[in-house]
A and B are shown apart, each in its own frame.
Chain A
Amino acid sequence: MNWLRRGSSGGTASEPLWKEEFSVRTADERYVTRRQLTKFLVLTSLGMFVGNIWILIRSLFYKAPVYPQQPVAQLGEIPVGGVKLFSYPTKDDHCIMIRTGEDEYVSYSQKCTHLSCAVYYSQAENRLECPCHKGFFSIKDGSVLQGPPSRPLPHIVLEARGEQLVAVGVKG
């Protein structure tokens, strides 16, 4: 068991041999100087600045997307107060359409602007509700009525063409 005891050269009587052999001081390894900490904070500040620059570049080079024209329902297909789900503009963008009156239809993205849960139509409250965090949206314009979402639901622009309802764009 000599390997557990102190070495013949150097070392103190209270310090075992393995501490001499593996002379890594955890406290020294974890020691962060003021300069290191300040450098880390300044680099984080640079990261925040770069993030803002990225947003600025995205804003400057923003191009309004071109949306396809897609038939989503037949007129009178759903009853007043009824709901139809469809996908627009891509098959991964789920939307909800509500017939609010005899000739009135509204449609919004079904993705909650808080954490992307699917919103549903509450006929009793006449509003769109997100079941995840109780975010409520107005049926009239998709604006936030209550809850954590800070942005309104994107509005799907619908046009009546003959007997068809056609989605022609997304606002917001």
Chain B
Amino acid sequence: MPTSNDRPPQNRGLTAIAGAMSLITVLLIVQIWLLSAALESFLGGNRHTALPAAIFSGVMFLICLGLYAFVNRVDSEVRGSENGR
């Protein structure tokens, strides 16, 4: 049975990029929901939810930023190995 190590590095790189982009998309959906919930709460007069919402949103943004750096690095490696062939 073939393992992930048997696949060429380009394929592994592309799989990693697809996974990272999917994760960014999921985080983005959660952030959109968080923003709408925080706004709804704020308009409803509950102002104590704004701080935790902002903190969680910031954490998710930082994760997205880290994943972006990861995608950039892997993409460069994949393109480098494709050009080197």
A30 interfacial by beta-carbon distance below 8 Å = no
Return the chain A residue nearest B57 by Cβ: A52
Question: Least Cβ distance of B85 to chain A in Å?
Answer: 19
Question: Least Cβ distance of A51 to chain B in Å?
Answer: 5
Central interface residue in A39, A49, A60, by most chain B CB within 10 Å: A49
A residues contacting the other copy or chain, number (CB 8 A) = 25
Return the chain A residue nearest B53 by Cβ: A52
Residues of A within 8 A of B (CB): 33-35, 37-39, 41-42, 44-46, 48-49, 51-53, 55-56, 58-60, 62, 150-151, 172
Question: B50, A59: Cβ atoms under 8 Å?
Answer: yes
Q: Which residues of B contact A46 (CB under 8 A)?
A: 61
Question: Least Cβ distance of A1 to chain B in Å?
Answer: 43
Q: Which residues of B contact A41 (CB under 8 A)?
A: 21, 24-25, 28, 64, 68
